[in-house]
Amino acid sequence: MPEPVDFRDRLRLTRKSRTPPWLSLVWRVALAFGLMGIALAVHWLDRDGLRDTLDGHVSFTDVLYFTMITITTVGYGDIVPVTDQTRMFDTFVVTPIRIFVWLIFLGTAYDFLLRRVWERWRMSIIQRTLRGHIVVAGYGTSGTEAVNELIRRGTDPARIVVIEERNTARIGAEQRGVTVIDGDATRNLTLEAVRLPAASALIVSAGRDDTSILIVLTARRIAPDVPISVVIRSEDNEPLARQAGADTVINPASFAGLLLAGSTQGRHTADYLTDLAAAHGRVALRERAVTADEIGHPLAEIGTGLGVRIYRGDTCFGFWEVEARALRAGDVIVEIVPGAEEWGRAAEPA
Is the separation of the CB atoms in 203 and 137 below 8 Å? yes
Handedness of CA 229, 233, 235, 239 (dihedral sign): negative
Strands 160-163 and 179-181: parallel
| pLDDT at residue 96, rounded to an integer | 86
pLDDT given for residue 218 in this prediction: 95
Residue range 330-348, pLDDT digits in tens: 999 999 888 765 544 544 4
**pLDDT at 208 > cutoff 80:** yes
* Res 318 pLDDT > 70: yes
Confidence of residue 113 (pLDDT cuts 50, 70, 90): low
- In single-letter form, the type of residue at position 88 comes to M
> Residues 5-33: what's their mean pLDDT?
60
Domains of the chain (ranges; CATH) run 9-129 (1.10.287), 134-254 (3.40.50.720), 280-347 (3.30.70.1450)
Q: What is the mean pLDDT of residues 8-32?
A: 61
pLDDT of residue 334: 93
pLDDT of residue 274: 75
More confident residue, 55 or 172: 172
CA pair distance 71, 67, nearest whole angstrom: 6
Helical segments of the chain, H only: 7-10, 21-45, 60-72, 84-89, 95-109, 115-129, 141-152, 167-175, 188-193, 209-222, 238-244, 252-263, 267-277, 340-347
What are the distances in angstroms from CA 200 to CA 104, 114, 171?
A: 45, 34, 24
- Which range is least confidently modeled, 37-51, 193-207, 209-223, 226-240? 37-51
What is the per-residue pLDDT across 28-78, written as a single tens digit (0 to 9) for each? Answer: 788 888 888 888 898 889 888 888 888 888 889 888 888 888 888 777 888
What pLDDT does residue 2 have?
43
Do residues 52 and 78 touch, judged by C-beta distance below 8 A? yes
- d(Cα 37, Cα 262) in Å, to the nearest integer? 75
Least confident of 7-11, 53-57, 113-117: 7-11
* pLDDT at position 152: 84
Q: What's the average model confidence in pLDDT over 170-182?
A: 88
Q: What is the mean pLDDT of residues 319-339?
A: 92
Q: What is the pLDDT of residue 22?
A: 65
Closest by alpha carbon to 274, among 260, 253, 294? 260
d(C-alpha 200, C-alpha 217), whole Å: 17
The pLDDT mean for the chain works out to: 82
